[in-house]
Structure 1
Amino acid sequence: MRLRHIEVFQAIRLTGSVSRAAEILRISQPAASKILQHMEMQLGFNLFERIKGRLQLTHEAELLGPEVEKVFRELENVRRLARNLRQHPEGLLRLGCVPSLGLSLLPQAIALSRARQPGVMIDLQTGHTAGLITSLLAREIDIAIVFNPSHHPGIRSVSLGESELVCLSTDPDTSPLTLDNLTTQSQIRLPQDDPLGGLLPSLRDSEITHTDSAIKVQTYYVACALAQAGCGYAIVDALTAQAMLRPGCFIRPVRPRIPFKLAALVHESSTLSKLDHNFIELLQTLGSRLETPPYARALK
């Protein structure tokens, strides 16, 4: 099957008509019919049959349809990228990050990148690590910035630095929060399958009392917002804690220290552009300058 075959097949599949497919593709109806006939001759089976004046997919075409849809989506991605590159010859950064890094590290990196190259276009999506890996494998993004990545087939990890878990709450206690105290205070918990939530010991049901029940959330900044409202304490990454620090809230260290890695994920077989490499180097520079958060004090 040729690319033109796929375009004609998809257009007829969507419109149910050769003439309307030809209009969409801006070709004549005889040309569309000829392409369809040539495609069916190469395949050795019919793709459509006419039922009540409308072309319907044959059984073979139904089976072929999902695979053609994948190719067609990839073709649209290529066209969209080509349009972006034409409109922004300086380059395009297709980035993904976990939501928390969208509050802290990424805005700094993007601001510096645009200051150096104002014409660069930024396409940024946020999501959980699993979704970002799916986008990388589908070539929808080129770089994903995440916490504590595990090995995944087809994905290469580039270290950006290290940070740690901290405690955010309205409690002005200046002492470090020890892991032994996790079962006796109101903890706003991240899921155990989360890259950072899995670093903490989980609360057993027997240790949760009616007056001291844990709250479970999916995102770090929601945990911080709940802590700000006095719902308990949130143990999150230091970057999110600093970004979400508000008057009346305090950041405390967790002991023993629980470090984690920051990493940029890329497709293992991708050839990154110079712009991509420069952005990763910029992230590494920022990652190496991560400061210890202002423990045991609130914003004034």
Structure 2
Amino acid sequence: MNIRQVEVFHAVMTNTTASRAAEVLRISQPAVSKAIQELERDIGFQLFRRERGRMFPTAEAHIFFREVEGSFSGLTKLKSAAARIRDFGSGEIKVASLSALSTNVLPRALRGFQSKHPNVAIAFQAQLSSTVKDLVASGQVDVGLAADEIETDGVEVRPFARYRAAIAIPDGHRFEDAEEITPEDLNGEAFIALSPEDTTRRAAEAIFLDRSVKPKVVLETPYSTTICAMVQAGLGIGMINPMTAEPYVGRGLKVIPFNPAVYFRTLLVLPPNKYPSRIVSDFVEEVMRHSVFQK
């Protein structure tokens, strides 16, 4: 049994006559009859009774046709999938990002991408940078954005952005009129810190150590957005990626530049040794339009 025989059988059952099936398939009527005979021989039972030059389906033919209909439904889906791949690439894109960029950069990039590819499905998730890297390396997502603290084995990385760190303070804080905040200002200050593995925290701690400064760490979190929420709630002040502060500024929170400069660095993460589909390439191009390297 082959797909051509099944296609001929489906055409006969759908169009009720062999002659009409031949017209639809653009083959001769003898070719239709031959294909049906070969199919009957292959499957081991009769599909049609032949009477006065016409073919009448048997009970077995109707049962078999129900199974064939299911297969043709699947084939229709395959054809639709092929059309999506032809027109849009894979028809879907999966993206993961560190939390700091998930509420600002990524939504804007995804909106720009969607305007060009309205029929492409988008799956997005915000994760820890280490998880983003693992998802890309395992092929579960197509593109990732992660902090530069990740191990880069098993993935391809490109510099994506650099943001100068700032200090988030609550309204009414004694620093609210300051033009900048220095390490000395933070000595003994209630401080909401990033996770120990964060490269920006490590850079800041090297400065603190060099200047004999010791903030009072009251809470640790891997997320700048969480620091903003905790600062807004009055638990202390904290060093943040300023991109994350947008929803909080003017709502009980202010952002003051930190001097000397330390930076949040992020990477674009891609699967290794894999030529990207057209839609993945288009998304990478779009997201790179939002790349920023602050001084």
CA contact 1:156–1:267 (8 Å) conserved in 2: yes
- 2:146 corresponds in structure 1 to 146
Aligned with 1:174: secondary structure? coil
Matched, 1:234 2:275: no
CA contact 1:99–1:126 (8 Å) conserved in 2: yes
Structure 1 unaligned runs (5+)?
A: 1-81, 293-300
Matched, 1:257 2:261: yes
CA contact 2:184–2:213 (8 Å) conserved in 1: no
Between the aligned partners of 2:220 and 2:291, the Cα distance in structure 1 is 29
Q: Which residue of 243, 247, 251 corresponds with 1:247?
A: 251
- 2:218 corresponds in structure 1 to 214
CA-CA distance at 1:213 after TM superposition: 5.0
Matched, 1:198 2:202: yes
Map 1:82-101 → 2, pairs under 5 A: 89=85, 90=88, 91-101=91-101
Matched, 1:135 2:139: no
CA contact 1:174–1:252 (8 Å) conserved in 2: yes
Tell me which structure has the larger Cα radius of gyration. Answer: 2
Name the CA shift for 1:216/1:87 in 2 (closer, same or farther; >3 Å): farther
User: 1:46-75 CA deviation, whole Å, 9 max, x = no partner?
Assistant: xxxxxxxxxxxxxxxxxxxxxxxxxxxxxx
Between the aligned partners of 1:155 and 1:83, the Cα distance in structure 2 is 33
Name the CA shift for 1:85/1:136 in 2 (closer, same or farther; >3 Å): farther
User: 1:124-173 CA deviation, whole Å, 9 max, x = no partner?
Assistant: 12211111111112110111111225552221112223211111111323
Between the aligned partners of 2:246 and 2:223, the Cα distance in structure 1 is 15
Aligned with 1:189: secondary structure? strand
Q: Which residue of 275, 284, 294 corresponds with 1:271?
A: 275
CA contact 1:208–1:214 (8 Å) conserved in 2: no
Residue identity opposite 1:135 in structure 2: L
Name the CA shift for 1:143/1:87 in 2 (closer, same or farther; >3 Å): same
User: 1:216-235 CA deviation, whole Å, 9 max, x = no partner?
Assistant: 22322111101001111121
Moved more, 172-181 or 129-138: 172-181
CA contact 2:200–2:262 (8 Å) conserved in 1: no
CA contact 2:186–2:214 (8 Å) conserved in 1: no
CA contact 1:166–1:236 (8 Å) conserved in 2: yes
Residue identity opposite 2:100 in structure 1: S
Between the aligned partners of 2:253 and 2:188, the Cα distance in structure 1 is 20
CA-CA distance at 1:207 after TM superposition: 7.5
CA-CA distance at 1:284 after TM superposition: 1.6
User: 1:226-251 CA deviation, whole Å, 9 max, x = no partner?
Assistant: 10011111211111122432423211
- 2:23 corresponds in structure 1 to none
CA-CA distance at 1:260 after TM superposition: 3.2
CA contact 1:147–1:196 (8 Å) conserved in 2: no
Residue identity opposite 2:123 in structure 1: D
CA contact 2:133–2:150 (8 Å) conserved in 1: no
Q: Which residue of 178, 201, 204 corresponds with 1:174?
A: 178
- 1:185 corresponds in structure 2 to 189
Between the aligned partners of 1:128 and 1:273, the Cα distance in structure 2 is 26
Residue identity opposite 2:266 in structure 1: L
Count of aligned positions: 207
Residue identity opposite 1:225 in structure 2: A
| Identity value in percent | 16
Residue identity opposite 2:269 in structure 1: L
- 2:25 corresponds in structure 1 to none
CA contact 2:95–2:142 (8 Å) conserved in 1: yes
- 2:229 corresponds in structure 1 to 225
- 1:158 corresponds in structure 2 to 158
Residue identity opposite 2:146 in structure 1: V
Between the aligned partners of 1:134 and 1:285, the Cα distance in structure 2 is 25
